[in-house]
Amino acid sequence: MSVHAEKALADMALALASGAVRVVDLTHRLDPDFPVIILPPEFGQCARFRMEEVSAYDHRGPAWKWHNITMNEHTGTHFDAPVHWVSGRDVPNGAVDEIAPENFVGPVVVIDCSEGAAENDDFELTPDVIDAWEAEHGPIPEGSWVLMRTDWSKREPIDYLNMEEDGPHSPGPTPEGIKALLARGIRGFGTETVGTDAGQGSHYTPPYPAHYFLHGAGKFGLQCLANLDQLPATGAILIAAPLKIKSGTGSPLRVLALVPGEAE
Amino acid sequence: MTTPLKPPKKKDPQKRSVVPTLPPLGRSRAALGLTVAAAEGRFALQHCAECGAVQYPPRDACMQCLSADLDWRDTPSGGKVIAETRIHASPDPYFRERLPWRMGTVKLDAGPVALVHLHGDVARGDRVRLSLHLDKASQGVIVALPTERTDAMEDDPLMRSLTAHPRYRRILITDARAPVTLPLIHALQKAGASHVFVGEAESWRRWPGRDSIAALENVSIMPLDVTDTDSLQDLAGEIGGKTDILINTARFVRPGGVLGNDTVFARDEMEVNVLGLMRLAQTFGPSMASRTADGTNNAAAFVNILSAHALSPSPGYGAFAASQAAARSLSQTLRAEFSHSGLRMMNVYVGPTDDEWHQPLPPPKVAPSALARSIVDGLIEGLEDVYCGDVARDLAERWRRDPGVLERELTGGGS
Q: Which domains does chain B have, with CATH numbers?
A: 32-162 (no CATH), 170-410 (3.40.50.720)
Mean pLDDT for B209-220 is: 97
Mean pLDDT for B166-186 is: 98
Contact A35 B265 (CB under 8 A): no
Give whole-number Cα distances, B81 to B44, B115, B362, in Å. 19, 10, 49
Phi, psi at residue A23, to the nearest 5°? Answer: -100, 125
Using one digit for the tens of pLDDT, what is the confidence trace for B47-89?
Answer: 999 999 999 999 999 999 999 999 999 999 999 999 999 999 9
Inter-residue contact B272 to B226 (CB < 8 Å): yes
Inter-residue contact A198 to A191 (CB < 8 Å): no
Dihedral angle at the C-alpha atoms of A52, A53, A54, A57, nearest 10 degrees?
A: 180
Q: Which of A44, A53, A157 has the CB atom closest to B262's CB atom?
A: A44
What is the set of domains in chain A, with CATH numbers? 22-260 (3.50.30.50)
pLDDT of residue B310: 98
Q: Which of B204, B228, B268 best tests the A interface by mutation, with the highest count of A CBs <10 A?
A: B204
Strands B344-350, B301-307: pairing kind: parallel
How far is the alpha carbon of B273 from chain A, nearest alpha carbon, in Å? 16
Inter-residue contact B103 to B91 (CB < 8 Å): no
Inter-residue contact B71 to B43 (CB < 8 Å): no
Question: What pLDDT band is residue B112 in, cutting at 50, 70 and 90?
Answer: very high
pLDDT of residue B414: 60
Using one digit for the tens of pLDDT, what is the confidence trace for A73-126?
Answer: 999 999 999 999 999 999 999 999 999 999 999 999 999 999 999 999 999 999
Using one digit for the tens of pLDDT, what is the confidence trace for B116-147?
Answer: 999 999 999 999 999 999 999 999 999 999 99
Catalytic residue (choose from A74, A84, A211, A215): A84
What percent of chain B has a predicted confidence (pLDDT) above 70?
A: 100
Say what the pTM is: 0.95
Task: For A43, name the nearest residue in chain B, comparing CA atoms only.
Answer: B265
pLDDT of residue B411: 87
CA dist B115 and B56 (Å) reads: 10
pLDDT of residue B87: 96
Q: Which of B206, B230, B268 has the CB atom closest to A163's CB atom?
A: B206
Inter-residue contact A137 to A144 (CB < 8 Å): no
**A183 Cβ partners below 8 Å, 6+ apart?**
none
The angle that helices B368-381 and B181-190 make with each other, rounded to 10 degrees, is 40
> Which residue from A220, A218, A131, A233 is spatially nearest to A177, judged by alpha carbons?
A131
Is the predicted pLDDT of residue A264 greater than 90, yes or no? Answer: no
How far is the alpha carbon of A161 from chain B, nearest alpha carbon, in Å? 7
Inter-residue contact A212 to A206 (CB < 8 Å): yes
ipTM: 0.92
Residue A70 with chain B: CB contacts under 8 Å: none
Q: Is A211 a catalytic residue?
A: no
Contact B229 A38 (CB under 8 A): no
Residue A52 with chain B: CB contacts under 8 Å: 229
CA dist A24 and A227 (Å) reads: 8
Task: For A35, name the nearest residue in chain B, comparing CA atoms only.
Answer: B204
Inter-residue contact B227 to B175 (CB < 8 Å): no
CA dist B66 and B60 (Å) reads: 9
Chain A residue set in contact with B, beta carbons under 8 Å: 32-35, 38, 41-42, 44-45, 48, 50-53, 157-158, 160-161, 163-165
Q: Which of A32, A38, A45 has the CB atom closest to B230's CB atom?
A: A32
- Give Dmax over CA atoms of chain B in angstroms: 69
Cα distance between the two ends of chain A: 27
Is the predicted pLDDT of residue A262 greater than 80, yes or no? Answer: no
Q: What would the DSSP string read from start to end of B260-291?
A: TS-HHHHHHHIIIIIIHHHHHHHHHHHHHHTT
Contact B206 A51 (CB under 8 A): no
